[in-house]
Amino acid sequence: MSIAGHDLSGEAFVDECTTIAIAHDGLIVRIARALALEQEVFVRVQNREMLALVMSYSREGTYGLSFDTPRPAFWGNLIDQPGEGPLDTPEPGIASDPLLVVNGEQFEQVLPPKPPPRGAERRRSPRIPMRQAKACIELPDRTTEVVELINVSRGGVCFRSQHVYPLHCPIRVAAPYTDGSTNFFVTGRIVRVHRDSWGGVYGVEYIR
């Protein structure tokens, strides 16, 4: 099994992963990549591919990935019908995985709730990963910080910083930002905060 997408540096990747658990509506994997919460990745099993959202993270590099709707057929013979448990002879390459879960209640204890359906999700436009790009954050007291820009969309941006920004903090942001050029600042607020060993990843929603 492999995971494909862009990491926090904007680098595209296709990496083999260690599978911790799988279920009809998602999976838990360990991968040596830094990923952002709520970013999209592709799960690949043999010749099958499924879009998933990163819904949880632990410092050990374990991520909870969730499909928009339950997709039991995606796993092929890895999962039997509900209540029957995994097959005795799982798909080649997955036999060493420590846990195959089909019990929905058991799986929900380790994976956060799945995202809303695609037609009703909060993000109204796709995120565009940025590589080696910067943004400038301006606080209400006019202090500014140039930060690493992770991705942009019509509704906001995601950036990384060592500075601690509180949730719901009002800011102005220019993204992308180029020092010495004319940069346009847009009003926004911090709507998502994720702290990790590299600092903090912040999601910004523009205020219209």
Q: Which one is predicted more confidently, 120 or 38?
A: 38
Is it the case that residue 191 has pLDDT exceeding 90? Answer: no
Lowest-confidence pick of 41-55, 105-119, 144-158, 181-195? 105-119
Length in residues, the chain: 208
- Is-same-fold flag (2-120; 128-206)? yes
User: How does pLDDT run across 92-130, given as a tens digit for each residue?
Assistant: 333 333 344 444 444 444 454 545 544 444 445 567 777
Contact 151, 157 (CB under 8 A): yes
d(CA 85, CA 176): 49
Q: What residues does each domain of the chain span? A: 2-120, 128-206
Closest CA to 129 of 152, 104, 95: 152
Tell me how crowded residue 104 is: count the other CB atoms within 10 A of its CB.
12
Give tens-digit pLDDT for 59-70: 667 888 888 877
Report the CATH number of the 128-206 domain: 2.40.10.220
Share of the chain residues as helix, strand and coil, in percent rounded to the nearest 5: 5, 45, 50
Residue 79: per-residue pLDDT: 61
Q: Are 35 and 7 in contact (CB under 8 A)?
A: yes
For residue 94 the two structure tokens come to 């997955």
Query: For 106, phi and psi rounded to 5 degrees?
Result: -65, -40
Contact 50, 43 (CB under 8 A): yes
pLDDT computed for residue 120 by the predictor: 43
Q: What is the pLDDT of residue 61?
A: 75
- Among 23-37, 53-67, 89-103, 122-136, the minimum mean pLDDT is found in 89-103
Model confidence pTM above 0.75 = no
Are 166 and 136 in contact, with CB atoms under 8 Å apart? no
Domain 2-120 has CATH 1.10.287: no
